[in-house]
């Protein structure tokens, strides 16, 4: 096979590398630069421009230039250039095509295969969109790997000693943090966290907003309404941000920035590092929460971290370095280039897949939990977050109503206890289930995450072998609000969600138990002690009445009261006469209804009978 290139497809800049002689090297572009701006434009005569040349003409041609398209990957967003509409995948493919062409010019041979990196916290839809972009660009994407993992690969290549490292990756549009263990050629991800819409672009925007406000105070003119002025200001803000990493003060001088009634206006402003740090202080603090959470998920203290690796251009900001030093108690490692290390790691993984390197093993994890919606709107996890991938896990569920012939599988990703607050990845139906009492059909739902982090789901009726499969290829990903709030909501509402989950579990258990009692009385009609039968009937009626309340303790108490008299009665009837219809009860049979799911944890958590709502056949 030919050379496999490694590509860091970034929000603001991209980088391509390749393995040569066992060492990863960055491939420079024709302009001689080692990174390429992730900018696409069309000149007035319709010529497609990508990279530095597109960025240069953005000021004079803002309407036909697009940047930071990565922020829209996995969504239905469209951008119009030269009166033609493009998806984020198509725009990203143009960037990938340029990187591919640059690699071919450098290597002197055709390149058809690549490893492409994505933020660790990218959703399934965003990963699929990235893979699609590679395909559009004419590349076979051998692997999608997480950016912090790639960085750790590059860092750990020449390390002889076992280490636990924290990778803090603050790029142009995304933030990731991962905890990894490096051991004799193995890179194992222990936990990952992040924010898909927080990065250097947001730091630039804060500076722009400040300059616009100050200019309006001084001149009475709002630069935010001038598209061309804003583009010049965007470039100047980015340049100032970079300069302030090395100096205490910088000057922004933009002559003829706009026009007023009196004539042309000029912008001339000094920005201090202290002012910049004040403007972005809350953005930096936003990266600390995910960092702490990743450490908690990895079950490690900062004392157990051997090295902190900074990745992404924005990690050069002194206030960022100080914040991570303060929280970790360690001086960040300066031995890697934040702009290039991810592409170098991708090239190493490409070398592994091409057979050029045989002593490296990469073990990555799923960033968010995956599961389905079950009875009462509960999110039932099948794969927990930070599970090592690739992985396959399944659980067995049943029907919620008698004679139900189809089930609706609602696939979700997220950390909230209630399905409504998580992200829908897709829906599909399993039909053709033979009519049977509720709880009898056994439906195996299987989740498979491949090495690229892309999800495949199947549902199978175990009685008939009828199976429905789906690969999640959602064209719409998380909105800005959803991504921004997903983790914050999970933390802020953890107790509320727990209480809601407990109530629904209690109601489901009560409903199942009452149904079991009624069915038992019917199955053994006229048999057993009349007083016992009356007591069971009364307890079941009381449980039904109580199940509609919001009092978890009362519902559980009534369930326990019914259990105490029902199960001895059932046991006595079986001993005396044998069970009528034995073996036909499915998951609801016996004294613990609904305990038939696979890969189960504690019994208390396994109430999964009657977990599907009936599909409305008129829809």
- 3-class DSSP assignment, residue 223: helix
Cβ–Cβ < 8 Å for 126, 88:
no
CB count within 10 Å of CB 481 equals 9
Cβ–Cβ < 8 Å for 367, 378:
no
* Residue 83 CB contacts under 8 Å (≥ 6 apart), including other chains: none
Q: Return the HEC string of 28-78.
A: CCCCCCCCEECEEEECCCCCEEECHHHHHCCCCCHHHEEECHHHHCCCCCC
**Helix 318-328 / helix 273-286 crossing angle, nearest 10 deg:** 50
417 carries an active-site annotation: no
Pairing label, strands 84-86, 79-81:
antiparallel
User: How are strands ordered across the β-sheet holding 423-430?
Assistant: 378-383, 370-374, 407-413, 423-430
Question: Could you say which DSSP state residue 580 is in?
Answer: T
169 carries an active-site annotation: yes
Choosing from 147, 201, 238, 505, which is the catalytic residue? 147
* Residue 90 CB contacts under 8 Å (≥ 6 apart), including other chains: 133, 136
User: Sign of dihedral through CA atoms 506, 510, 511, 516?
Assistant: positive
Using CA atoms, how far apart are residues 13 and 240, in angstroms rounded to an integer? 17
User: How are strands ordered across the β-sheet holding 186-195?
Assistant: 307-311, 163-170, 175-183, 186-195, 361-365, 388-389
Choosing from 102, 124, 132, 169, which is the catalytic residue? 169
8 carries an active-site annotation: yes
Q: Return the HEC string of 232-257.
A: HHHHHHHHHHHHCCCCCEEEEEEEEE
Of the candidates 7, 221, 109, the one whose C-alpha atom is nearest the C-alpha of residue 213 is 221
* Residue 507 CB contacts under 8 Å (≥ 6 apart), including other chains: 376, 547, 555
Of the candidates 397, 525, 552, the one whose C-alpha atom is nearest the C-alpha of residue 461 is 397
Choosing from 3, 8, 415, 511, which is the catalytic residue? 8
Q: Is 243 exposed, middle or buried (0-12, 13-18, 19+ CB in 10 A)?
A: middle
- The Cα angle at residue 349 between residues 345 and 474, in degrees rounded to 5: 95
352, containing H or E segment: helix 341-353
482 carries an active-site annotation: no
Pairing label, strands 455-461, 443-449:
antiparallel
Choosing from 3, 70, 100, 423, which is the catalytic residue? 70
- The Cα angle at residue 610 between residues 606 and 616, in degrees rounded to 5: 145
User: How are strands ordered across the β-sheet holding 48-50?
Assistant: 48-50, 39-42, 65-67
Distances (CA, A) of 528 to 90, 562, 566: 72, 17, 12
Q: Which residues are catalytic?
A: 8, 70, 147, 169
């Amino acid at each position: 096979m030919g050379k496999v290139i490694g590509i860091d497809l970034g929000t603001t800049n991209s980088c391509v590398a390749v393995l040569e002689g066992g060492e990863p090297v960055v491939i420079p572009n024709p302009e001689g630069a080692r990174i390429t701006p992730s900018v696409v434009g069309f000149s007035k005569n319709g010529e497609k421009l990508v990279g530095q040349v597109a960025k240069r003409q953005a000021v004079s041609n803002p309407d036909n230039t697009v940047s930071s398209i990565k922020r829209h990957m996995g969504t239905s967003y469209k951008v119009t250039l030269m009166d033609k509409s493009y998806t984020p995948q198509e725009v990203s493919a143009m960037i990938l095509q340029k990187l591919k062409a640059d690699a071919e010019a450098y290597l002197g041979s055709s390149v058809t295969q690549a490893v492409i990196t994505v933020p660790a916290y990218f959703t399934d839809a965003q990963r699929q969109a990235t893979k699609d972009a590679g395909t559009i660009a004419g590349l076979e994407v051998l692997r999608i790997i997480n950016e912090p993992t790639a960085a750790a690969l590059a860092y750990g290549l020449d390390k002889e000693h076992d280490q636990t490292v924290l990778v803090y990756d603050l790029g142009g549009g995304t933030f990731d943090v991962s905890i990894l263990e490096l051991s004799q050629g193995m890179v194992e991800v222990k936990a990952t966290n992040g924010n898909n819409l927080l990065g250097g672009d947001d730091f630039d925007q804060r500076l722009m907003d400040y300059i616009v406000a100050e200019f309006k105070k001084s001149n009475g003119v709002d630069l935010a309404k001038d598209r061309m002025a804003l583009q010049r200001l965007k470039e100047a803000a980015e340049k100032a941000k970079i300069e302030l990493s090395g100096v205490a003060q910088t000057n922004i001088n933009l002559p003829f920035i706009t026009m007023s009634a009196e004539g042309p206006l000029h912008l001339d402003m000094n920005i201090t590092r202290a002012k910049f740090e004040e403007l972005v202080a809350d953005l930096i603090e936003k990266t600390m929460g995910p960092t702490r959470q990743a450490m908690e998920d990895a079950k490690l203290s900062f004392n157990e971290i051997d090295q902190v690796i900074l990745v992404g251009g924005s990690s050069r900001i002194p206030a960022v370095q100080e914040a991570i030093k303060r929280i970790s108690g360690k001086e960040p490692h300066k031995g890697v280039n934040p702009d290039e290390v991810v592409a170098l790691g991708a090239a190493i993984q490409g070398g592994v897949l091409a057979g050029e390197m045989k002593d490296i093993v990469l073990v990555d994890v799923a960033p968010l939990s995956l599961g389905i919606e079950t009875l009462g709107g509960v999110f039932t996890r099948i794969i927990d977050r930070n599970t090592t991938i690739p992985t396959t896990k399944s659980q067995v569920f049943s029907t919620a109503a008698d004679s139900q012939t189809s089930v609706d599988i609602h696939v979700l990703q997220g950390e909230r206890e209630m399905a409504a607050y998580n992200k829908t990845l897709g829906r599909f139906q399993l039909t053709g289930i033979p009519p049977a009492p509720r709880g009898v059909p056994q439906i195996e739902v299987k989740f498979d995450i491949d090495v690229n982090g892309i999800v495949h789901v199947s549902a199978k009726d175990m009685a008939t072998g009828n199976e429905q499969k789906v690969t999640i290829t959602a064209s719409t990903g998380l909105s800005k609000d959803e991504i921004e709030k997903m983790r914050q909501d999970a933390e802020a509402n953890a107790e509320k969600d727990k209480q809601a989950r407990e109530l629904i579990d209690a109601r489901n258990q009560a409903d199942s138990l009452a149904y079991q009692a009624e069915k038992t009385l019917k199955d053994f009609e006229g048999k057993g002690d009349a007083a016992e039968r009356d007591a069971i009937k009364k307890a079941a009626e009381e449980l039904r009445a109580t199940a509609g309340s919001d009092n978890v303790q009362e519902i559980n108490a009534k369930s326990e009261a019914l259990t105490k008299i029902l199960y001895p009665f059932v046991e006595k009837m079986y001993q005396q006469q044998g069970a009528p219809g034995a073996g036909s009860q499915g998951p609801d049979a016996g004294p613990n209804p609904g305990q038939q799911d696979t890969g189960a944890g504690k019994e208390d958590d396994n109430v999964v009978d009657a977990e599907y709502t009936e599909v409305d056949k008129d829809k």
